[in-house]
Amino acid sequence: MAESESQEGNYDNRGNKVQNFETDMEELLEKMEELTVHAAWMAYDCVPTHTNPDLHNALQCLENAFLMCKEQVEKKWQEVLME
């Protein structure tokens, strides 16, 4: 009787391990899919930048304008806080 209970316990334990393994594998596959999609979008975004130098220059100008505006907003914010 003790042997059959022990075997049932081992079977349940083995079943839990298999279920945990399947769950872990599903989670890993989902993460791999997310990373693959992210990498694909990164590559997709890089292609136009490398094939069109004007696009790179335009993006650089936009970034510079953004940084200047951000700096001005921070200065004005500090002035407002001082008042």
User: Does residue 47 form part of some domain?
Assistant: yes
Task: Please report whether residue 2 resides in a domain.
Answer: no
pLDDT value of residue 30: 93
Q: Give a yes or no: residue 66 inside a domain.
A: yes
Tell whether 3 is covered by a domain.
Answer: no
Q: Are 22 and 29 in contact (CB under 8 A)?
A: no
Instruction: Report pLDDT for 33.
Output: 94
Q: What is the pLDDT of residue 49?
A: 67
Same domain membership, residue 44 and residue 13: yes
Residues 31, 19, single domain; the answer is: yes
Low-confidence ranges of the chain (pLDDT < 50): 1-2
How far is it, in rounded angstroms, from Cα 22 to Cα 50?
42
41 within domain boundaries: yes
Instruction: Say how far residue 37 (Cα) sits from the centre of its chain.
Output: 10
pTM: 0.44
Domain count, the chain: 2
Give me the domain span that covers residue 16.
Answer: 8-51
- Whole-number pLDDT of residue 37: 92
